[in-house]
Amino acid sequence: MATKARNIRMTQTKQSLINAFFNLASKKDFEKITIADITRGAQVNRATFYAHFNDKYDLIDYIMGDFASASIEKHTSGVVKFDLNRIHQLILAVSDFYQQPNIECRSSYGGLVLPQMREKILNELKAFFVEKFGTNVYR
C-alpha cells in the first residue's frame, strides 16, 4: 500500500511541476524560466524537481514525449491495421499532437519546441510500430 501511495504522490508532484511550467511558459521566455520559478509555482523544493527531471530541457522533453504517446494511443486505441481509416487516425494523432500544448506560449518557444515536437512524434510513431509489429519498419 505504501508503494502505491508513493507512486500517486510522485505522479501528482510531477504533474504539479508540469503545470507550473505551463503557467510560466505563457508569461516568460523559456531561457528566462529558472528551476526556482518552476519549484515555486509547484510548491516543492529544488531537490524534488531534480528527483523527477535533470533540468528544464529534460522537463520539456518529457512533456513532448507524453503528448506524443497520448495522442497516438487516443487515436489508435493500440490497434494497428493498414486500412484507410487507421491511416487517417494516425494522421489525426499527429495533428492533435501539434495542437496539444494548448497553452499560450510566447513566440520565442517556436525555435525550441517545434523541432523537438517533430522528433518526439516520429520517435513515438516508430516505437508504436515496433511494439505492434515487432520490428523496426523505419530503416
- Cβ-contact 134, 82 below 8 angstroms: no
Query: How many angstroms separate the CA atoms of 77 and 40, rounded?
Result: 37
Q: What is the grid cell recorded at 62? A: 518529457
User: What 3-state DSSP class applies to 79?
Assistant: coil
Q: Which CATH architecture is the domain 2-133 placed in?
A: Orthogonal Bundle (1.10)
**Which phi and psi angles does 106 have, rounded to 5°?**
-70, 160
SS3 95: helix
Note the pLDDT tens digit of each residue in 32-63.
999 999 999 999 999 999 999 999 989 988 88
| Euclidean distance between CA atoms 45 and 88, whole angstroms | 44
Confirm if 124 and 102 have CB atoms less than 8 A apart.
no
Q: How far apart are CA 38 and CA 23, in angstroms?
A: 9
Task: Pick the more confident residue, 134 or 22.
Answer: 22
63-107 pLDDT per residue, tens: 888 877 777 777 777 666 666 676 667 777 777 666 655 444 544
In whole angstroms, give the CA distance from residue 34 to residue 87: 41
Domain ranges of the chain: 2-133
User: Cα–Cα distance between 24 and 136 in angstroms, integer?
Assistant: 38
Query: Tens digits of per-residue pLDDT, 115-126?
Result: 666 777 777 777
Task: Give pLDDT, residue 80.
Answer: 64
